[in-house]
Amino acid sequence: MTVTLADVAARAQVSPATVSRVLNGNYPVAASTRERVLRAVDELDYVLNGPASALAAATSDLVGILVNDIADPFFGIMASAIQAEIGGPGGRAGGERLAVVCNTGGSPERELTYLTLLQRQRAAAVILTGGAVENAPHAAAVAAKLRKLADAGTRVVLCGRPPAPDTGAIALTFDNRGGGRELTEHLIGLGHRRLGYIAGPEERTTTRHRLEGHRAALEAHGIEDDAGRTVYGRYDRRSGYEATLELLRRDPSLTAVVAANDSVALGACAALRDSGLRIPEDVSVAGFDDLPFSIDAVPSLTTVRLPLSEAGARAGRIAMGREEPPPGGIATIRGELMVRGSSGGPRVS
């Protein structure tokens, strides 16, 4: 049999209540008693029963982190920063919490199911990262879930995701629109007029915002936005490769390709090279996010740096109640344009 609180109590010659209090440290216990209890715990190699404890105390030490793709460093970096703050092991003493990273794969159903699962576990907090799916019924369902979670005392934080009104959720949003605009303006400033755009999956807030920024820049400079210059895809390299070939087919005179993120941009680079085009002499390329590998590409990638780690850390602290939420429950986090080797003036044709 496994060791229980009662066993420890018996061994230490105290009541179970006392053992519980020693373990939780939330009630005065004489030093001598405490020590006796601690020794018994040690000798019996006792490990608290989490479920029982959670049931009795009506709280749990689980914190859920929802990500769209755990294999994508974009999410990995945020998750890592969050976890560090959640203070799983190694964090500050006291709150030893278990961070649960849940991989939704970008699927609305999975997202909902995970939220239910976390609700079932009475999670202490839930952090949703990355773009949301833009689909009215689903958005409503998620909002309802979030509201319910908040009502049940679970702290809900959105990190790199647009605010969810009326849910009580704190939102740390990336300024994808602004970043997208800045990026395209940089290219326009370089002299580009025929820019292809490789967007992410449709019905995703991130996709839409970045694209809106791109279009706003075009419009501001009186450049007509030919719909054929935008191709939708996924947020991965492969998608970037294929989309680039498609863009090239539609208009071989392109001088720049703006990608929805860095992985896509890398795919674009590969496609361009395979098509015999030089970067940036023939075609400039720009990404988004500034993931670690982007600086390693050859040429290194012009992109928009998102402070993933900082945002994640802040979200983690807010979720733990260790930092004040931003006023109004919403904060916008801006990206920073990183001009590097993959962008240059257009070729003269």
Partner DNA sequence: AGCGTCTCAGCAAGCGCTTTCTATTCAATA
Partner DNA sequence: TATTGAATAGAAAGCGCTTGCTGAGACGCT
Count, residues near a copy of itself per rule CB under 8 A: 63
> Which range binds a copy of itself by CB under 8 A, 7-15, 94-102, 170-178, 326-334?
94-102
Complex with DNA: residue 22 or 100, whichever CB lies closer:
22
Q: Is 264 in the site for a copy of itself (CB under 8 A)?
A: no
Beta-sheet pairing, 62-67 with 230-232: unpaired
From the list 234, 227, 270, the residue with the least C-alpha distance to 106 is 234
Per-residue b or e along 135-170, where b marks 16 or more CB atoms closer than 10 Å to that residue's CB: eeebeebbbebbbebbeeebbbbbbbbbbbeebebb
Q: Is 194 in the site for a copy of itself (CB under 8 A)?
A: no
> Which range binds DNA by CB under 7 A, 2-10, 100-108, 110-118, 180-188?
2-10
Residue owning tokens 């209090």 = 21
Residues 272-291 close enough to bind a copy of itself by CB under 8 A? 273
Contacted entry of a copy of itself, DNA, none for residue 13, CB cut-off 5 to 8 Å set by kind: DNA
Candidate residues 24, 113, 135, 253; the one interacting with DNA per rule CB under 7 A: 24
Q: How many residues does the chain have?
A: 349
Candidate residues 10, 39, 41, 49; the one interacting with DNA per rule CB under 7 A: 49
Distance CA 192, CA 184 (A): 9
Contacted entry of DNA, a copy of itself, none for residue 73, CB cut-off 5 to 8 Å set by kind: a copy of itself
Give the shortest CB-235-to-DNA separation in angstroms. Answer: 38
How many H helices and E strands in the chain? 12, 12
> Which range binds a copy of itself by CB under 8 A, 4-12, 36-44, 112-120, 187-195?
112-120
Q: Is 42 in the site for a copy of itself (CB under 8 A)?
A: no
- CB neighbourhood size of 98 (10 A): 17
* Alpha-carbon torsion angle 160, 203, 236, 118, nearest 10: 50
Contacted entry of a copy of itself, DNA, none for residue 267, CB cut-off 5 to 8 Å set by kind: a copy of itself
> Which range binds a copy of itself by CB under 8 A, 41-49, 169-177, 199-207, 330-338?
41-49
Residues 309-328 close enough to bind a copy of itself by CB under 8 A? none
Q: Is 135 in the site for DNA (CB under 7 A)?
A: no
Q: 3-class DSSP state for residue 62?
A: strand
What does DSSP assign to residue 334?
-
Calculate the alpha carbon distances from 274 to 264, 267, 268, 270 in Å. 15, 11, 10, 6
Contacts with DNA by CB under 7 A lie at 1-2, 4-6, 13-18, 20-21, 23-24, 26-30, 32-33, 48-49, 52-53, 55-58
